[in-house]
Structure 1
Amino acid sequence: MVAAQIVSALAAAGIGPALTGITLGLVHARGFDHQLARNQVANHAGNMLAALLAGWLGWRYGFAAIFVLTAAFGVLAIVAVWLIPSAAIDHRAARGLGNTDGADALSGWRVLLTCRPLALLAITLGLFHLGNAAMLPLYGMAIVAAHAGDPSALTATTIVVAQATMVVVALLAMRWIRVHGHWWVLLVAFMALPLRALVAASLIQGWGVFPVQMLDGLGAGLQAVVVPALVARLLQGTGRVNVGQGAVMTVQGVGAALSPAFGGWLAHAFGYRVAFLALGAIALFAVALWAGCRGMLRSAIDVQAVQ
């Protein structure tokens, strides 16, 4: 079990920067945002389909069928990667080096420390995930403890509702970015969590999973499109785009890893409602930090509707 979780975590950590690099290499910086949104639509639609199939197969044939389904999807993913022509990937563009004539030089690792907007983005996301990661498991436990829902049905519903919302949000994200800019769209994503915490604290009932997970889909769906686009934009020309993606994901992961311990302690000591409100309060710090530093960020990342 532990080994399986370690392997899964390693794969999850590597796939984000790898997909970012492949996408940049295929479509270059100009087409990156649009293709990234398309990638996320396919990603969330696949997750939703997998959840539905896993639920049906598990009910019909037992848990072993779910593992077979997971392995089959893994094989199909490998085949899909093999079908991408290696010659179609511009490896300079994949690293974030803009000029094909070699004029751009690879920047040193220090660029990750000296890019203040990147550091701010990472810290803000770390705070967000510190408040976010524990929300769903705690909400599920609160509903079950209150005898307000069936655990099996609840698990399936949380996945399907969130992923369906993310599909819609990913479809709309690029239009919102063109109209309002990256900064505003990410601010909306951050603001979804305090609202989600308030709803979770107020609606510990079976049907409450719908607004709670729709708000999760809004925040996560927007971040999945905006954050990689921002990192690529901030580090374009340095050749360190993929490393930057990994650095930001590392800070996110630290926040997400600490969240269950913190949220679980709050729920045990003060109850579920207090835990939800406290986790939402952490997200308010992320909102305040992002809003308070707008002046520094806007020149670096804000994309106007007309360029």
Structure 2
Amino acid sequence: MFVFLICAVMFHFSNAAMLPLLGEMLAKGRGRSSMMFMSACVVTTQFVITLIAGWSGRKAHTWGRKPLLLIAFGVLPIRAILYTLTSSTAALITIQVLDGVGAGIFGVVSVLVIADLTQGSGRFNITLGAISTAIGIGAALSQTTAGTIVHHFSFNAGFMFLAAIAAMALCILYFFMPETRAKSFLNDRQ
């Protein structure tokens, strides 16, 4: 549970500031039209989340939880790095598809992981609440930290910092987080 908590907080620490930073970057020198670009980013993300959530729920039962989490965590550093490679508005909005993939998978699979880890204990709700609180704190710190880096250095430095945090989370997940579906499956068979 502790490894998953660390990974989840790092995921959201890395993820939470990316869209606001992207919105700020897209808004530079565009005045009122910047609202349209930010709206396009949000709509793109939400559309992809809608598509990917059902798919990830089905795949979680056949593939397991960890492979899907690796996909969600893996797209995060890629997304951050891609933001540093282009200034094209269309390309930046298209990169938001990766946000939808990561968030869509994490949103579904994280609940399944918590259910697996708390199965039979009666502690699902309190565990979900505690992890959600920790994630919220990580997300709030993300905004402040990345914003400070951007203010003192550049957007690219902010995105690269977030990419580094995401890459660390991916490594921790890969090396230290076990598959939880097997535990759930074994409990179901007993």
**What TM-score, normalized by structure 1, do the two folds share?**
0.57
> Offset of 1:155 from its aligned partner?
2.3
| CA distance in structure 2 between the partners assigned to 1:175 and 1:273 by the alignment | 36
CA contact (8 A) 2:68 2:105 kept: yes
Aligned length: 185
| CA distance in structure 2 between the partners assigned to 1:286 and 1:301 by the alignment | 20
Does 2:74 align with 1:187?
no
| CA distance in structure 1 between the partners assigned to 2:149 and 2:156 by the alignment | 9
CA contact (8 A) 2:37 2:93 kept: no
Larger Rg: 1
After superposition, the CA RMSD in angstroms is 2.0
Q: Deviations over 1:121-149 (max 9, x none)?
A: 11101111111111111111112226499
Selected match of 2:47 from 152, 164, 167: 164
Selected match of 1:238 from 107, 110, 121: 121
| CA distance in structure 2 between the partners assigned to 1:119 and 1:131 by the alignment | 18
Selected match of 1:153 from 36, 40, 49: 36
Partner of 1:132: 15
Does 2:98 align with 1:215?
yes
CA contact (8 A) 1:148 1:205 kept: no
Q: Which has the higher contact order (CA 8 A, sep 6+)?
A: 2
| CA distance in structure 1 between the partners assigned to 2:122 and 2:102 by the alignment | 29
Partner of 1:175: 58
Partner of 1:248: 131
Q: Deviations over 1:188-245 (max 9, x none)?
A: 1011110110111112332133332110000000011101111011101111100010
**What TM-score, normalized by structure 2, do the two folds share?**
0.90
Decide which moves more: 196-205 or 162-171. Answer: 196-205
Secondary structure of 2:122's partner?
A: coil
> Offset of 1:179 from its aligned partner?
3.1
Partner of 2:166: 283
CA contact (8 A) 2:72 2:106 kept: yes
Gaps in structure 1 of 5+ consecutive residues = 1-117
Partner of 2:149: 266
Selected match of 2:107 from 215, 220, 224: 224
% identical aligned pairs: 31
Q: Deviations over 1:144-179 (max 9, x none)?
A: 226499212112211210111001101211232233
Gaps in structure 2 of 5+ consecutive residues = none
| CA distance in structure 2 between the partners assigned to 1:147 and 1:200 by the alignment | 18
